[in-house]
Amino acid sequence: MKIAKVSAIVLGFSVLAGGYWYSTLDRETRGLLAAMPTNSDVLSWNQAQREAAFRAMDRMPILAHAAVITASPQPLPLPAGEPLEIPGIDEYMTRQNTAGLVIVQDGKIRLERYGLGFDADGRWTSFSVAKSFTSTLVGAAIQDGYISSLEDKVSRYIPDLRGSAYDDVTIRQLLTMSSGVRWNEDYEDPNADVAKFNNAKPDAGVDATVSYMRKLPRAHPPGEVWHYDTGETNLIGVLVSSATKKSLASYLEERIWHPAGMASTATWLQGKTGHEIAGCCLQAATRDYARLGMFVLANGNVGGRQIVPPDWFDQATRKQKDIGQPGRGYGFQWWTYDDGSFAAQGIYGQGIFIDPQRRLVIASNSNWTRATLGPEPKAREAFYAAVRAAVDRSSR
């Protein structure tokens, strides 16, 4: 009888929790409820599951909790500009499975489109676009005096890394993904580190990311080899929190979200030990992703107040490491182009492309057929070129 009562109570709580979760979903998300995934392994979801989940990851019971980032009390206006004519835009969005596309040029929206039943009020998950937000928080922490130098050892701020392969790695080397520590980022390999580390059991009393990363062996001397590593961005997030004594979401709200005038609430998924997953998983409106681009174009200066060091974005968005692709490079968690443009990029088609020469920002959220492979990445690069050509034509 007691067991039955306990089971009934547990079932009751489960029903209540499920009911509450359902009540947080908007109408279009409820319509996709049947397609929602039943496991937390994002890389194993099919396309229909991703389309349903990417707009509601912060409200899915199978995932960890999410920290809330409140909207700015003074949202940055995005007035309408002259409509930008881009041939084939409808076909492009269909092929990309685009949920949201916002093009801002010289501070005005020149094109805004939505698909997949998504709209301007919804939040779409960022994946690795979050890396560029996290990088910017390092700049803010330097400006605020919490971090002394990019040449500081990471273990100065994360003592649990002492004695590991990260003991002699600098903050700069983390930012440029050149720590030399071994890591596998193959999104289609279930045994890759990027697939395993979120499910690993943390050591007692140690942050989940730190617990996994401190066990990894060294592959190269620090600073010599660029190698893409989401786990290291997660370490950067832990470092910022350790230095500032603030949660990553709180510091983002204080130093970027509010000053940059983000108009909507955002969320940031948290890992097993309660820390925001710094290399992933911000949920935000497409317009607010575009506003980050405008913040960068303003050099992190808001109303005469410098949020990051004056030379921060000059360093962060310039090629610091060669990645083996002609005309491309890597800065401080930004992908760079030799023509001076740069981008934040996330798997399955999330992106913020910024062209300072044209004062241009292209924010897009999509659901590609594969994480990074397939035809969509090349087509997006061609689209960026087409948008720049359209901007040039319209300015003649």
Q: Per-residue pLDDT tens for 263-289? A: 999 999 999 999 999 999 999 999 999
Asked if the model's pLDDT at residue 72 lies above 60, the reply is yes
Q: What value does the mean pLDDT take over residues 342-347?
A: 98
Q: What pLDDT was estimated at residue 12?
A: 41
Cα–Cα distance, 29 to 348 (Å, whole number): 19
Backbone angles phi, psi at 366, to 5 degrees: -145, 180
Q: What pLDDT was estimated at residue 24?
A: 56
Question: What is the tens place of the pLDDT at every residue in 155-171?
Answer: 999 999 999 999 999 99
Asked if the model's pLDDT at residue 324 lies above 60, the reply is yes
Asked if the model's pLDDT at residue 306 lies above 80, the reply is yes
Cα–Cα distance, 88 to 90 (Å, whole number): 6
Q: What value does the mean pLDDT take over residues 282-309?
A: 98
Question: What is the tens place of the pLDDT at every residue in 9-58?
Answer: 333 433 344 444 455 555 555 656 678 888 888 888 999 999 999 999 99
Q: What pLDDT was estimated at residue 121?
A: 97
Q: What pLDDT was estimated at residue 27?
A: 55
Instruction: Give the closest residue to 50 by CA, choosing from 213, 159, 187, 192.
Output: 187
3-state SS record for the chain? CHHHHHHHHHHHHHHHHHHHHHHHCCHHHHCCHHHCCCCCCHHHCCHHHHHHHCCCHHHCCCCCCEEEECCCCCCCCCCECCCCCCCCHHHHHHHHCEEEEEEEECCEEEEEEECCCCCCCCCEECCCHHHHHHHHHHHHHHHCCCCCCCCCEHHHHCHHHCCCCCCCCEHHHHHCCCCCECCCCCCCCCCCHHHHCCCCCCCCCCCHHHHHHCCCCECCCCCCCCCCCHHHHHHHHHHHHHHHCCCHHHHHHHHHHCCCCCCCCEEEEECCCCCECCCCCEEECHHHHHHHHHHHHCCCEECCEECCCCCHHHHHCCCCEECCCCCEEECCCCEEECCCCEEEEECCCEEEEEEHHHCEEEEEEECCCCCCCCCHHHHHHHHHHHHHHHHHHHCC
Around 96, how many Cα atoms within 13 Å sit in the side-chain half-sphere? 27
Mean pLDDT estimate for the chain? 92
Q: What pLDDT was estimated at residue 6?
A: 35
Cα–Cα distance, 201 to 236 (Å, whole number): 20
Predicted TM-score (pTM) of the model is: 0.92
Asked if the model's pLDDT at residue 196 lies above 60, the reply is yes
Q: What pLDDT was estimated at residue 372?
A: 95
Instruction: Give the closest residue to 287 by CA, choosing from 352, 336, 354, 383.
Output: 352
Rounded alpha-carbon distances, angstroms, from residue 135 to 6, 19, 95, 269, 312 = 47, 37, 31, 17, 10
pLDDT band, residue 1 (cuts 50/70/90): very low
Q: What pLDDT was estimated at residue 31?
A: 56
Crossing angle of helices 129-143 and 230-244, rounded to 10°: 30
pLDDT band, residue 381 (cuts 50/70/90): very high
Backbone angles phi, psi at 346, to 5 degrees: -130, 155
Cα–Cα distance, 358 to 240 (Å, whole number): 32
In this structure, of 16-30, 149-163, 318-332, 336-350, the range with the lowest mean pLDDT score is 16-30
Instruction: Give the closest residue to 142 by CA, choosing from 244, 260, 228, 283.
Output: 244
pLDDT band, residue 4 (cuts 50/70/90): very low
Q: Delimit the CATH 3.40.710.10 region(s) of the chain.
A: 69-394
**Token pair for 270:** 């948290």
Where does 69-394 sit in CATH, by number? Answer: 3.40.710.10
pLDDT band, residue 199 (cuts 50/70/90): confident
Asked if the model's pLDDT at residue 331 lies above 50, the reply is yes
Percent of the chain having pLDDT more than 90? Answer: 84
CA angle, residues 122, 128, 131, in degrees to nearest 5 = 110
Question: What is the tens place of the pLDDT at every residue in 79-138?
Answer: 999 999 999 999 999 999 999 999 999 999 999 999 999 999 999 999 999 999 999 999
Instruction: Give the closest residue to 286 by CA, choosing from 354, 360, 365, 343.
Output: 365
